[in-house]
């Protein structure tokens, strides 16, 4: 099955720095979701986006639904050690419940 192109694959940053990651696709999606997964746990939903151009925040996290509907971005401001984990994007096409996932961005935050 198709997967989204998520980048970067990994990031090593200092505490306090801002983080940006993105997902792109050759196909149009109607919904974009961003998840975080801690080791040994299930993905936890962070932000859901439903409209092209939509910008949504959840605390220090901000995500955007790309205007072309083929991409989405996640920003984390002022990172802290508990931000460590793997971040996944997921997209849903119209008329389907099926989610297509990116392979994840592994974030490491150095104190």
Partner 1 sequence: EAQVTQNPRYLITVTGKKLTVTCSQNMNHEYMSWYRQDPGLGLRQIYYSMNVEVTDKGDVPEGYKVSRKEKRNFPLILESPSPNQTSLYFCASSSGTADSYEQYFGPGTRLTVT
Give yes or no for a contact between 100 and 32, defined as CB atoms under 8 angstroms apart.
Answer: no
Q: Which residue intervals of 1-111 are DSSP H helices?
A: none
Nearer to partner 1, 37 or 77 (CB): 37
Of 26, 42, 59, 95, the one binding partner 1 by CB under 8 A? 42
Nearer to partner 1, 79 or 105 (CB): 105
Nearer to partner 1, 24 or 77 (CB): 24
Q: Say which residues have a Cβ less than 8 Å from residue 36's Cβ, sequence separation at least 6.
A: 43, 44, 46, 85, 86, 87, 88
Give yes or no for a contact between 106 and 44, defined as CB atoms under 8 angstroms apart.
Answer: no
Q: Is 85 in the site for partner 1 (CB under 8 A)?
A: no
Q: Which spans of this chain sit near partner 1 (rule: CB under 8 A)?
A: 1, 3, 31, 33, 35, 40-45, 48, 50, 88, 90, 92, 97-99, 101-104
């Amino acid at each position: 099955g198709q997967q989204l192109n998520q980048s970067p694959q990994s990031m090593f940053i200092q505490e306090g720095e801002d983080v940006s990651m993105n997902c792109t696709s050759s196909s149009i999606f109607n919904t974009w979701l961003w998840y975080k997964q801690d080791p040994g746990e299930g993905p936890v939903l962070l932000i859901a986006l439903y409209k092209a151009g939509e910008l949504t925040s959840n605390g220090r996290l901000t995500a955007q639904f790309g205007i072309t509907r083929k991409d989405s971005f996640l920003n984390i401001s002022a990172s802290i050690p508990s931000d460590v984990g793997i971040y996944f994007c997921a997209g849903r096409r119209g008329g389907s419940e099926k989610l297509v996932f990116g392979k994840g961005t592994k974030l490491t935050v150095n104190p």
